[in-house]
Amino acid sequence: MDNSTLSFCKKLPKLELHAHLNGSISDKTLLELSQTLDNKGTNYDNIKQFIMGCKDRSLEECFKMFSLIHSMTVSASIIRKVTKDVIEDFAGDGVVYLELRSTPRQVEGSMTKNEYMDAIIESIRESKELYPIIVKLIVSIDRKSGVTEAEENLELAIQAKEANPDIVLGIDFSGNPAIGEIDDFIPVLQCAQKSGFSLAIHCAEVPCELETKKILQLNPERLGHATCIHPDAGGSDELWKTLIESKIPVELCLTSNVKTSTVKDYRNHHFDHLYKIGHPIVLGTDDKGVFSTSLSDEYCIAAKTFELDNDQLWQLSYDSINYAFASEYEKEKLQKILKDWKQNITGNSKID
């Protein structure tokens, strides 16, 4: 990879809008964690081997990986630590605004869902003093866990938003796309909309025209992946047209899609189609730990694959401010950070 582009991408102030907490934990943090847990008498050698092994995993293998990681993130103090470490990683990568998403989880005898949520929110609050990054929380609904859990997670999200309206902003619908029927979840997602949440919905990670249509009808604020919508990727002209006309911003995770083989290679990524027609897009890492990537790497891969120059990379980051769930005040702050940064490196007079 061209060193000057990578260095530009690292320095560029960026917004991360698609990052799952447990998938974002670095190998370093996971190894530290496994050593601490080892000392308490549990042997995590098999987990360590899996974590440090090959990072080109199928989508199914990825979901096994999440279960392994979940078997290590089992207490509120661990959740606090991993959240802090993940925020530190993103801040160190030049991310100035981060929307972390996570699925409330309870561990029998060790942690309730409320404690899980509080641990993340506390860590986010603490990070304000530590790193130059604004962090928000999106509460995830895992399609694998069924509707009762979905309703429970929405209820938790409503309570957390009431207590922390500056942090808890959205609802994410995610999980293994091979499991669960969208129809079952639509009432919960509509209820989330009525409760004032912005929605970020995983969509068409694998081909499923009917489900994709139903998600588009919900008119969420953002879509995750939107992989199999273009006719080249198993979708149809009609579906593609519906997406484009909807103007719903799409969170694109290049490495995640290529490594899980839902997209053949970078060149064939739907970034190309969406970017060329000016559809709103934002680059994200999805699971930077699981896929061994960073947001700077993702910008650099986009630059190299689709021949974007530094101005276009800056614009990509600047435009993504529009799609954040942040307040207008915070968006203006972010716009200023990006403009000042550009002015500094180009020595240009004022940028409008």
Single residue of 18, 136, 161, 202 touching ligand 6MZ by CB under 6 A: 202
- Tokens 């309570």 found at: 159
Q: Which stretch binds ligand 6MZ (CB under 6 A): 19-27, 154-162, 297-305, 332-340?
A: 19-27
- Between CA 117 and CA 252 the distance in angstroms is 26
Beta pairing class for 198-203 and 95-102 = unpaired
Interaction of residue 285 with ligand 6MZ, rule CB under 6 A: no
Active-site choice (16, 99, 149, 205): 205
Interaction of residue 22 with ligand 6MZ, rule CB under 6 A: yes
CB of 239 to ligand 6MZ, least distance (A): 19
Interaction of residue 256 with ligand 6MZ, rule CB under 6 A: yes
Single residue of 29, 34, 140, 153 touching ligand 6MZ by CB under 6 A: 140
> How distant, in Å, are the alpha carbons of 9, 12, 94, 283, 309 from that of 6?
5, 10, 12, 15, 12
- Between CA 11 and CA 71 the distance in angstroms is 35
> Does 205 participate in catalysis according to the annotation?
yes
CB of 208 to ligand 6MZ, least distance (A): 13
Interaction of residue 263 with ligand 6MZ, rule CB under 6 A: no
Q: Which stretch binds ligand 6MZ (CB under 6 A): 21-29, 37-45, 110-118, 163-171?
A: 21-29
- With beta carbons less than 8 A apart as the criterion, state whether 105 and 153 touch: no
Q: Which is nearer to ligand 6MZ, 127 or 256 (CB)?
A: 256
- Between CA 333 and CA 134 the distance in angstroms is 10
Single residue of 8, 12, 13, 20 touching ligand 6MZ by CB under 6 A: 20
- Tokens 């769930």 found at: 325
Tally of CA atoms within 13 A in the half-sphere of 27 that contains its CB:
13
Length of the chain: 352
- Between CA 145 and CA 224 the distance in angstroms is 19
**Residues in the site for ligand 6MZ, rule: CB under 6 A?**
20-23, 62, 66, 102-103, 140, 142, 174-175, 202, 205, 256, 260, 286-287
**Looking at the annotation, which residues are catalytic?**
205
